[in-house]
Structure 1
Amino acid sequence: MILLSFDIEEFDMPFEYNREISFEDQIRVSTIGTRIILDILKKHQVKATFFSTATFAIHIPELLKRIVDEGHELASHTYYHSSFDVVDLVNSKKKLEELSNAEIIGFRMPRMQPVDEKEIYKAGYRYNSSINPTYLPGRYNNFDQPRTFFKQEGVWQIPASVSPIIRFPLFWLSFHNLPLWVYKILAKWTLKNDGYLNIYFHPWEFTDLDNKEAYNFPSYVSKNSGHKMAERLDDFIIWLKQNKNQFATFRTFIEQNQLN
């Protein structure tokens, strides 16, 4: 089973590289990318999960409607992408439900940062996908965490997929930088071992990130962005479908595995 997900949010990443970007441009860039993603998913009749900040959702009513109408799952990516308070857990859930008229049962913390699972449970979520169970310099060291889903403090944890044994992460940066045939080998190995694949991307990856003056991104961030990223995802989905893999939302995964 393939769990494709997209963290749709304010495009605030340039701040990490000492560049300014207006709020309007943050929303504009992520809106463009989200449309590209939805078109690819529609082309292949694939369902995915969209973890949205409440702030981004407020500014894209037509896209929010499209996400829900086309059968995708909407989940919370908290209220703001650049700041967090524990009240944002319940407030983002309520705002997303108000805007979409859909039940929100899932959560993912921006930048896969740790969050109190007791608070996640109290806010009413059934699952959390905020763990990348590997080591990423400057971000996290989660080698002590399980590689596959487990329950903690009443909440199902669904970590991002990493390969068996060496725990090579299969997240967005790997998808950008590895030769696609190498990424497919790692994905196939992980799928065979775990029975599912949980990989995530962002809408801004589907726009041109090569503008050094505007973004100052290192090459490992901007590589294969824009139309190249769209082509790679298109190729990857075709390959997965040719190998008879089924795609599902996190909600469907929870239900089919009877994770109550």
Structure 2
Amino acid sequence: METGYTLPPLDGDVVGDAVTLGELREDWARQTDTLRVPEPDDMDRVVVEEFDWPEEPREDHGRAAVASLVATGPARVREELQRLESQRDDGRGRLDAPGFLANLDDMMARTGRVAAGAADRETLRGGRELITSASREDRRALGWARITDGDPCSFCAMLVSRGAVYSSRATAASGGRRKPQGSPDGRVRVNRRSPVSREDLTRYHYLCHCQTIPVYSRTDFMTPQARDYDRQWREVTRGTTGAESLRVWRRHIDAQRSGPGLTVAESRKGRI
């Protein structure tokens, strides 16, 4: 919609070449099962471009979810039980031994956390893949950027800080060059570091709540969130390189997640 156009709603047919904002909001409410509140501009019209929404491979998603949950749940429990069973030879495997019971409780707790993380990732899989596959077919999408929730791990925050990756057709249209935003020719803004790679852009770990969003404007190379993390990265890692930069960054982000954040000086002083 920022480009002045929109795609057809996921549900229902479009009559004519435009839809109202109210119709789009109704579609959003149906898809998200949320309450739709009337807005003053509901009757404003937006031009609709022809677009075929990709079919969602629900069966593939189901099989992937089953495989993931079995591997991280029952299968892992069986492996751990076999390992604990093998300890009986050295006297630590008695079923009533306090040490065995403690190991069993710890094993079940760890397995439960891993399985919960797998379930969380599988729940998000459908939405992530729909956005990714649809935006690849959207001729107005110039590229993609990673965004995260308010509590990312250091790896995800680093990926967000690197900005967007542009499609091959967008790069070709700019002559293969990306000049800073605000330069005389007004071309694409360049991050101070290499942009995130396509491979890393959609790499999600357990309990990761990142998303990949399409970019429709060359001025959106760095989202506000990316600019903030980019600023933090440059301040925190100043004077460091390679693995040392990653260690300093991890300490900085971990401190933000666990309580009041360390100052930049404290993060740099405490690097190991």
With the shorter chain as reference, the TM-score category is under 0.3
Who wins on radius of gyration, i.e. which is larger? 2
* TM-score for the superposition, normalised by structure 1: 0.21
Give TM-score scaled by structure 2 length. 0.21
Larger RCO, structure (CA 8 Å, separation 6 or more): 1
Would you tell me which structure has more strand in proportion to its own residues?
A: 1
